[in-house]
Structure 1
Amino acid sequence: MRMTFRALAIRNVRGGWRRYAAFLLSSSAAVMIAYLFASFVAHPDVRSGDIIGGAAVAQGLIACVYLIAVFSFFFVLYSSSSFYKTRQKEFGLLQLLGMTPWQIRRLAFAEQLIVAACAIVCGLGLGVLFSKLFYMGIGELLRTEAPVRFLIVWPAALWTAVGFAALFAAVAAVSLFGIGRKPVIELLRASRKPKRPPLASAWLTALAVAALGGGYVLAYMTNLRTVLMLMMPVTGLVVLGTYFLFTQGCIAALGRLMRSRGYYWKGVRLLALSQLSYRLKDTARMMFSVAVLFAVVFTAIGTVYVFHQDIKDQLLVNTPFALSIEEKGLDTRKVVDPEALEALFAKHGIEPEVETRTPLLDVTANVNLYGRADSEAALIEESSWNALAAELGLPAADVESGRTMFAYPFERMGRSGEETRGESVDFVVADGTLTFVSSGTIYAAATNHGKLLWILDDADFEEALGLVPDAERTVLYAYDWSGWESDAAFAKEAQALAAPELPRSLVRERITGYQDVQQFASLTLFIGLFVGVLFFFAAGSLLYFKQFTELEEDRQTYRQLLRIGVSPKELRSVIRAQIGSVFGIPFVVGTVHALFAYKMLGNVMQTNVWASALSVVAAFALLQLLYYAVTERAYMRQLGIAEAG
């Protein structure tokens, strides 16, 4: 049988499938996600406008496709370059047998295209297989009346196949420039070159500690006012510190352990730490890249997930009632006819569990708030505030005669400037002015309308009401019930009940806003999870790939260790320590970075983000353990010691 370049390339790929496995898996995942996104963008129903909201989603998906393409380019470039470095001895033998450098490049290029073709075919096949589920998820998030039709979107498949084929071909071409440029003798001796002992610089180790410490301190201190100013310095310090942590700090820490005779000379630690120090030296830059990638993935997905979880809580804080109507006049109902509203409730089967009627008095408050000497506000009597507070779980007020308390509804916007305790406050009411002394601030929203409320003693409030006629007084009617999240049709019809000549802002409901923001957040989370998981698996693939690129060299080392008396059980302990460090250290470092990023996020959002953030880290920790277990098992099998001893 005549051996052709194609046959030789196929045989090489089949023989080294384990080292290609992780690369193929990540590349296929990238192709699959790119096809899913492109298929929705090019779906006939989206292009025709039949799917409401589909065009906006398509724009986001297009941006994600470009992001995946850029990421895939660098991932494939790194993987290809590393593949070729580990095959220098093989290339040297081929040259020794008579192949020219140009022929070796052709062979390597053919192998790369074979793997690329497999990745594209597998990715497209998986994309078509899971596209129905993807469409169902998008349709559910967009709340489409009819599900998105399942069909194979051939233009999307063509774009994806051609795009990734061009990407793989370009990367393969770039990677080939280094092949065949070294003398044969140097290629053959590449794996036999003695490794220099790993050394660490005390100054660069100190720089790593200082940079990470500075970045963490700045992150811990960041708040809403300083986030834009500090974000870039924090990122720069953490990235710099991470680089020197892996290239210098880890080696310095291992060197310190190795100098401790009581620890180093016990059991197999001498062998494990010695091997690990050389392994960390060789993989420092790769582990740095993976750690940063982990931090980015955890932070991005955690941020989106926290935002998704926080939406409803904040909506409930800022709009405490499902529906609220502001009427002008003590007993008039000019904005919404109450009988029409009751009929609408009955039509949709809604029985309000909370109904409130709260009289207010619109005033101008002359007090320094955020640099302003006057602000539009409203007065509310103490008993009315406490009734609302009992319904909403807000702090109660206790106001003495001649005093007032400020109810500030926008706590997340900051507390600087609204602390008014002890200040004199003038309320301009009609043609008169009432003066009170502030007793402090309650940070809570008791209305949907975002009014700045000043709470008065009941007697003082009645005195203020006497300054204006009944027709100039304000009354808020508010309603709340469980299950309001799904009452979008009611909300739309309730808005339509408002008198057309009056401002629409007099009717405030939280249902429409909740569904709009929830839809956006859910779509962002849905898309972010796809991209984040892809990046995560790519990082894991780099770790997997690094183990198998050094397999032959490690096999020879471990065989020699078995010959000099190291037991298979001890050898497995050494290997687990090495693989565990390569998988564990970047994950732990990336997690610590993400935890400080979550602290920044919590400071900016002024909320507790830890429950949501830690659940994201825990989920990825399980995936990382799975990746580690698969890698360790496959590696042990290749070394032939999986079941030994």
Structure 2
Amino acid sequence: MMTLKDLEKKLQKADAKQAKLYLFCNFISLLLITAYSAMMFSPTVLLVLPQGGDSRKQMVAIFVLALFGCVVFTIYASGLFFRKKAKQLGTLMALGASGRRLLPGLFREVLTLSAVSSFLGIVAGFPFVWILWNCFKLISDSSQMALTFDFKCLYLSAVFFVIVVACSCLNAYRYLKKTNIMEVMHEEHRNEPVRELGRWCGPVGIGLVLAGAVLGYMGPVVCYYGFQFYAPAWINILYAPVFVGLYMIMLHTVVYGWRPRKKDPYKNLIARSMMKFQGKQTVNNLLVSTVLIAGSVFGMFYLPMTGVERAMEIKSRPYDYYYHYRADQNVPDEEEISTLAAKHGLVVKDFKKAPYLSLGMDGITEVEEGRSFHYERIPFKCEGRFLSEESYEALTGEKIALEKGSYMAVCKSDGTGLQFLEETAQVLTNMETFQSIPVKFAGYAHYDLLTDSSGYYVLNSEDYESVGQDLGGEWMGEAVFFNIDGEDSYEFAQDFFYTLISSFGPECEIPSYYDRVSKYYANSQGEVYWGDTPDMTEVSFSDPDSSNFRIYWKYMPKSRLLDQTDYNSTFSVFLMMFLFIAIICSLAAVIIEYTRCMTIVLNNRYVFEDLKRLGASPGFLLKEIRSQAGPVFKIPAIVGMGAMYFLYILLMYGNDGKITASEAGGMAVCLFILMGIGLIYYAVYRLAVKNMCHQIQG
């Protein structure tokens, strides 16, 4: 005789497919979240990505998008599981089982499935990261690519696990509270149409996406420049119209579509009706997939935008080598460099050297008052490297005539590279004698090779001689250019680099942002200079091949061949982290879309069966399947990619008020990448359609 418990087990076995789908969804969600958080907390990544830098902020922002997507996906998977389980619960209720009787068994099943899938996902996250990271190392490897984990990342996985279990238990309780047995048994066939807002919701949604992107981006800018106020974190709520607009776009897609139907209103009626009557599920899936694809594209764009800009800058250099040094350092001179080059069968030519002075500059700075600030002129704002008119001409071949008491700042030929330059100085100070001269800003000179994170200036020659009297060697320097006659050698470039480093003393073991004038002023005010705090990026002569040293050392030379060849190893962690982010978000989006296509078939099997009985041909059924699966893949890809491409253009323009040639080149490469990603999504779409047909035929 079969007991109620035996019947319950038998029904559970019959619903094994749904249990497997639920297990798979939870497993994938926990795997992706664990993998992403493992990378975010990895000392390998945190050591290279500067604290407070844009790269870290972007990493966290995309994680929030991925977390949002996985949470919604998990809730959706839980709801789908219980919709299918409703028939089992209704059968047991019809046989006399009360909700109180079924509750312990249902909770036990839910907790077991959730715990097992989540635990396996968490455990699998670490080998998944390890496998991907080591695959990356085949492309680009360096001493910094040794992957280490900080298991604090498990806190995020634990929080996500609690969300998974809580949602599952709430769903279980909600279904058992229903008293109408017939409603419970037919739950899986219940439609979830969305509320129709009208055809205006699509165009309005597009407008809201654009408005939200502009508002979210401009909000902090307006606070800063308009109200002299540091924007709080909550101002990011200005991006909210983006999500409202995305929802309206998806709603319009599901309910109306984007093709006019006045001429043929009954075309694709079955497919449109099926999508419309299950609109809530479809809209939610489209929205989540769009957000994840946008995050994926944002991560992917980091690679070409960084790589193209750097490649174009290296190619445009008029000299093979550039370096500068303090006058009190015993660095190799022209003869020693020529001797070193001769060991590698090379000849040095076009050797140019010119002196510069490191002077204190006054200027206008921000003085913080809580979250607001005001501007104030201080006598020692920053350190500037000043070339005389003759020195600038000797290096660049360009003649500049400056009036006495004036100076120019050197920026790039396209007018960018201004963020590190001081334009408000009225006094220049000799930091040995503290003799000062009055000056005024006279505009910009343009020479790309002299543009870096410290900045160069050109000073009237008389003023240069006057303010530079009795200046010590630590406040003087030399800038050097030279070429190699014929084809350069990587071995020489590397040998020169290590030889140059070994000639510097420990007093030069500082990052590029370290400003001695700013330090002097902070100390004179009884404050600790921010560059001396332990959280700042450190460089070390003992590790000259690290990203921190190559990117941030104050006296880092520029070598065309070395910079070209070592680009991947120098930026390996940056590149691999953002490529990893793109893969994680893309996987999540693809899995959600594929799962949605499979549930379309499961939820509408009876519709397809009826169509077959009415004589529908295989070709007609295939057309209907494509009409269902197409928007699931196509709309998120178009909206997510298009919105992020537009946002990236906005970000590029907002940096300096223009789109430079290197940025335009990077965006062109990004366009080709979007095409490649689109082909991948199309391949998954074809696979989904094939499996949907298999489900119907089976």
TM-score, normalisation: structure 1: 0.70
Q: 2:684 aligns with which of 622, 627, 634?
A: 627
* Structure-1 residue corresponding to 2:609: 559
1:412 shift after superposition: 4.0
The answer to whether the aligner puts 1:508 opposite 2:555 as a matched pair is: yes
Distance 1:223 1:164 in 2: 31
State how 1:198-277 maps to structure 2 within 5 Å.
199-201=196-198, 207-216=204-213, 232=236, 235-247=239-251, 249-250=252-253, 253-254=256-257, 257-258=260-261, 260=262, 262-265=263-266, 268-277=267-276
Distance 1:18 1:179 in 2: 20
1:126–1:213 distance in 2 versus 1, CA, 3 Å = closer
* Structure-2 residue corresponding to 1:547: 597
1:301 shift after superposition: 3.8
8 Å Cα contact 1:91/1:104 also seen in 2: no
The answer to whether the aligner puts 1:601 opposite 2:600 as a matched pair is: no
Distance 1:521 1:489 in 2: 21
1:226–1:166 distance in 2 versus 1, CA, 3 Å = closer
Task: Tell me the amino acid that sits aligned with residue 179 of structure 1.
Answer: Y
8 Å Cα contact 2:409/2:457 also seen in 1: yes
State how 1:362-511 maps to structure 2 within 5 Å.
362=357, 378-381=386-389, 388-389=395-396, 397=398, 406-409=408-411, 411-414=415-418, 441-442=445-446, 444-446=448-450, 450-454=454-458, 475-479=478-482, 491-498=497-504, 508-510=555-557
Distance 1:308 1:520 in 2: 12
Q: Which stretch shifts more, 211-220 or 539-548?
A: 211-220
Distance 1:196 1:378 in 2: 70
Distance 1:487 1:13 in 2: 66
Distance 1:293 1:65 in 2: 8
8 Å Cα contact 1:325/1:476 also seen in 2: yes
1:595 shift after superposition: 1.1
* Structure-2 residue corresponding to 1:49: none
String of CA shifts for 1:594-645, please: whole Å, max 9, x gaps. 112211332245551414533553443233223222221111111118xxxx
* Structure-2 residue corresponding to 1:84: 82
String of CA shifts for 1:421-441, please: whole Å, max 9, x gaps. xxxx99999999999996864
Q: 1:185 aligns with which of 179, 182, 186?
A: 182
Distance 1:128 1:253 in 2: 44
1:295 shift after superposition: 1.7
Task: Tell me the amino acid that sits aligned with residue 508 of structure 1.
Answer: Y
1:273 shift after superposition: 3.7
Task: Tell me the amino acid that sits aligned with residue 199 of structure 1.
Answer: E
* Structure-1 residue corresponding to 2:637: 587
8 Å Cα contact 1:399/1:439 also seen in 2: no
String of CA shifts for 1:340-398, please: whole Å, max 9, x gaps. 9549946995957565323346498999999989995634457x756755xxxxxx746
The answer to whether the aligner puts 1:358 opposite 2:348 as a matched pair is: no
8 Å Cα contact 2:110/2:169 also seen in 1: no
Q: 2:572 aligns with which of 514, 517, 522?
A: 522
Task: Tell me the amino acid that sits aligned with residue 236 of structure 2.
Answer: M
Distance 1:434 1:63 in 2: 46
1:486–1:6 distance in 2 versus 1, CA, 3 Å = farther
The answer to whether the aligner puts 1:176 opposite 2:185 as a matched pair is: no
Distance 1:464 1:503 in 2: 28
8 Å Cα contact 1:211/1:237 also seen in 2: yes
1:12–1:192 distance in 2 versus 1, CA, 3 Å = closer
* Structure-2 residue corresponding to 1:570: 620
* Partner secondary structure for residue 643 of structure 2: helix
1:341–1:218 distance in 2 versus 1, CA, 3 Å = farther
Distance 1:157 1:236 in 2: 28
1:117–1:357 distance in 2 versus 1, CA, 3 Å = same
8 Å Cα contact 2:188/2:603 also seen in 1: yes
Distance 1:358 1:365 in 2: 23
Gaps of 5+ in 1: 47-52, 390-395
The answer to whether the aligner puts 1:297 opposite 2:296 as a matched pair is: yes
Aligned residues between the structures: 602
1:581 shift after superposition: 0.8
Task: Tell me the amino acid that sits aligned with residue 269 of structure 1.
Answer: N
1:361–1:303 distance in 2 versus 1, CA, 3 Å = closer
8 Å Cα contact 1:321/1:510 also seen in 2: no
1:336–1:254 distance in 2 versus 1, CA, 3 Å = closer
1:338 shift after superposition: 3.1
1:572–1:587 distance in 2 versus 1, CA, 3 Å = same
8 Å Cα contact 2:73/2:288 also seen in 1: no
8 Å Cα contact 1:426/1:434 also seen in 2: yes
Task: Tell me the amino acid that sits aligned with residue 354 of structure 2.
Answer: P
8 Å Cα contact 2:593/2:632 also seen in 1: yes
Distance 1:451 1:442 in 2: 12
1:585 shift after superposition: 0.9
1:436–1:165 distance in 2 versus 1, CA, 3 Å = closer
Task: Tell me the amino acid that sits aligned with residue 254 of structure 1.
Answer: G
Distance 1:366 1:116 in 2: 62
Gaps of 5+ in 2: 225-229, 366-375, 513-552
Q: Which stretch shifts more, 74-83 or 336-345?
A: 336-345
Distance 2:216 2:160 in 1: 39
Q: 1:56 aligns with which of 47, 55, 59?
A: 47
1:435–1:110 distance in 2 versus 1, CA, 3 Å = closer
1:125 shift after superposition: 6.5
Task: Tell me the amino acid that sits aligned with residue 250 of structure 1.
Answer: T
8 Å Cα contact 2:137/2:145 also seen in 1: no
Distance 1:280 1:385 in 2: 67
1:255 shift after superposition: 8.8
Distance 2:332 2:500 in 1: 11
Q: 1:94 aligns with which of 89, 92, 95?
A: 92
1:587 shift after superposition: 1.8
TM-score, normalisation: structure 2: 0.65
1:144–1:16 distance in 2 versus 1, CA, 3 Å = same
1:145 shift after superposition: 9.5
* Partner secondary structure for residue 143 of structure 2: coil
Distance 2:385 2:624 in 1: 71
Distance 2:102 2:637 in 1: 41
8 Å Cα contact 1:583/1:628 also seen in 2: yes
Task: Tell me the amino acid that sits aligned with residue 621 of structure 2.
Answer: L
Task: Tell me the amino acid that sits aligned with residue 236 of structure 1.
Answer: A
1:337 shift after superposition: 5.1
String of CA shifts for 1:164-188, please: whole Å, max 9, x gaps. 9777655543442223221212112
Distance 2:363 2:60 in 1: 46
* Structure-2 residue corresponding to 1:392: none
The share of aligned pairs that are identical, in percent, is 16
1:553 shift after superposition: 4.1
8 Å Cα contact 1:325/1:507 also seen in 2: no
* Partner secondary structure for residue 257 of structure 1: coil
8 Å Cα contact 2:24/2:117 also seen in 1: no
